[in-house]
Amino acid sequence: MTQQTSDGTDGVSRRKFLVGAGTAGMLGIAGCTTNPGASSGNSGGSGGGNGSSGNGSSGGSGENLSGEVIVKGSSTVYPVSAAIAEEYMTNHDVNVSVDSTGSGGGFQNHFCPGNADINGASRAIKDSEVQLCSDNGVEPVEFQIASDALTVAVNNEADWVDCLSFDQLAQIWKPDGAQTWSDINSDWPDEEFELYGPASSSGTFDWFIENVIGEDGSLRSDYEPTENDNRIIQGIQGSEYAMGFFGFAYYEENRENVKAVQIKENADGNCVEPSIENAKSGDYPMARPLFIYAAQSSLEEKQQVYSFMEYYLNQAETDLVSEIGYVPTSTELRDENLSKLEEYSGN
């Protein structure tokens, strides 16, 4: 009992102290208040950064863009999209994420089901994919944003081969075709090919079949398919009798590691080496267009997607693209793209 009473008296004085200190504290703090709704930007320290992003989401009109843009698709287009996204985000408060899923993988799993705004493709969209998209109420709008010089490469030691025609390539890569180098040319070594190429989800795979082997052909099944182009280069480096093909950007970074083969369209054509200039002039027979597809509904409804696309199409004409290793669009193509964008966005 005594314990309790002494506790009681102690408690009263402490309570008084607490009330006094609390009141004084509240009065003191009242001078240091701020209104998070109105002006959180000047609340000092890092609070400002959070406040402004919070404000951005509420006022999404005009220049004050926010939200997300989701880009999926081709691993060949990925470097272009990633570079443009990086540049775009330095002065826009929009969160652009870029993923590399392969052209077909992007259409199949992300873009057509409606989970992505933009899909990169290293070949034109297939009819089956258009069908899949429209089943889900997604209408793809096509823009060509660059060209690539698809490069066929062999080992640095393979000094016998400098130039190949489409016919020879088709013989090497089609099912039940040539097995050894000497099958193509009797002067070449009697050694089996070691082939590295893109996997079937890749647009490069589709383009090669359609343009080199023939519309309804296919690739032989006994090559090493991979989604990772660096694997192809490593494979070629590893064997004297290896061969593979990939986007020019990867060759540009590996000029010392592998040897690019010149290409001629038919037996009596000119051999042309892969380069940005040759792809631009149209001399290089394996130059191919690179596309991005935007979902029309995203263009219409999401301000940030429209804004990013506008920036993308403008940048696709600049040196940004050639620094990556692709051919930029011409001025005419850019203007055509921009008017197409206007038309489909309904702005």
Partner 1 sequence: MATGHDGPTGDWFGNSEQISRLPGKVFAATCLAATLFGIVMVAGLLVYVTKDAIRPLTANPGWFLVFFLTLVVPSTALLAYFGRRRDGEATVALTALGIPFFGLLLGSGVLMLFIDVIGIFEWLAFVAATIVAVGVILGHRRVRGRTSFLEELLVGVVALVGLGPVTYQFISTFPTLPQAWLIYLFTFGLGGAAIAGLLVARRRNDRRAGLTAFTALFVTVTAGVFIDPSTGITPPVWVILFTFAAIPTALYAEGVVRRRQGSLPVGLFFPFVVVAGMLVGAVLVDLLGFAGPQAWLDIQFLTSANSRFPEEAGIYPALIGSILMMVVVAISSFPIGVGAALYLEEYAPSSGPLSVVVKFIEINIANLAGVPSVVYGLLGLALFVNWLDFASGIVVVGGMTVGLLILPIIIISAQEAIRAVPGSLRQASYGMGATRWQTIRRVVLPEALPGILTGSILAFGRAIGETAPLLMIGAAASVFRAPNGFFDIFSAMPRQIYTWVGQPSQEFQYGVMAAGVVTLVTVMISMNAAAILIRNKYERRS
Residues engaged in binding partner 1 (CB under 8 A): 29, 32-37, 40, 43-47, 49-51, 53-54, 68, 70-72, 75, 78-79, 82-83, 85-86, 89, 95-100, 109-110, 115, 227-230, 249-250, 252-254, 324-325
Alpha-helical runs (H) found in 107-228: 127-135, 166-173, 181-184, 203-208
| Shortest reach from residue 248's CB to partner 1, in Å | 10
Q: Which is nearer to partner 1, 98 or 184 (CB)?
A: 98
Tell the smallest beta-carbon distance from residue 304 to partner 1 (Å): 13
Q: Quick count: other Cβ atoms within 10 Å of Cβ 342?
A: 13
Q: Is the CB of 182 or the CB of 257 nearer to partner 1?
A: 257
For the bound state, the minimum distance from the C-beta of residue 228 to partner 1, rounded and expressed in Å, comes to: 5
Residue 249 CB, nearest distance to partner 1 (Å)?
5
Question: What Cα–Cα distance (Å) separates residue 267 from each residue in 33, 173, 188, 198, 272?
Answer: 81, 17, 17, 26, 13
Q: Taking the complex as a whole, how short is the minimal distance between the CB of residue 125 and partner 1, in angstroms? A: 20
Residue 146 Cβ vs partner 1, minimum distance, rounded to whole Å: 15
Closer CB to partner 1, 84 or 170, in the complex: 84
φ, ψ of residue 315 to 5 degrees: the values are -70, -25
Tokens of 21: 């200190």
- Closer to partner 1 at the Cβ: 95 or 318? 95
What is the Cα–Cα distance from 265 to 272, expressed in whole angstroms? 9
The answer to whether 154 and 263 have CB atoms below 8 angstroms apart is no
Least Cβ distance, residue 34 to partner 1 (angstroms): 5
Residue 288 CB, nearest approach to partner 1 (Å): 18
Q: H/E element holding 148?
A: strand 140-149
Cα separation, 341 vs 347, in Å, equals 9
Nearest distance in Å: CB 89, partner 1 = 5
H or E segment to which residue 226 belongs? strand 224-226
CA distance 295 to 257: 40
With 0-12 / 13-18 / 19 or more C-beta atoms within 10 angstroms meaning exposed / middle / buried, residue 71 is buried
CA distance 193 to 243: 7
Task: Determine the Cα–Cα distance for residues 1 and 7; give it in Å rounded to an integer.
Answer: 10
Let me know the angle formed at the C-alpha of 169 by 166 and 172, rounded to the nearest 5 degrees: 155
Closer CB to partner 1, 5 or 46, in the complex: 46
Nearer to partner 1 (CB atom), residue 50 or residue 128? 50
Which of 81, 64, 67, 136 minimizes the C-alpha distance to 107?
Answer: 136
Q: Which is nearer to partner 1, 70 or 341 (CB)?
A: 70
Phi-psi bin for 71: left (phi > 0), alpha (psi -120 to 50), beta?
beta
**Residue 47 or residue 217: which is nearer to partner 1 going by CB?**
47
Q: Which is nearer to partner 1, 51 or 285 (CB)?
A: 51
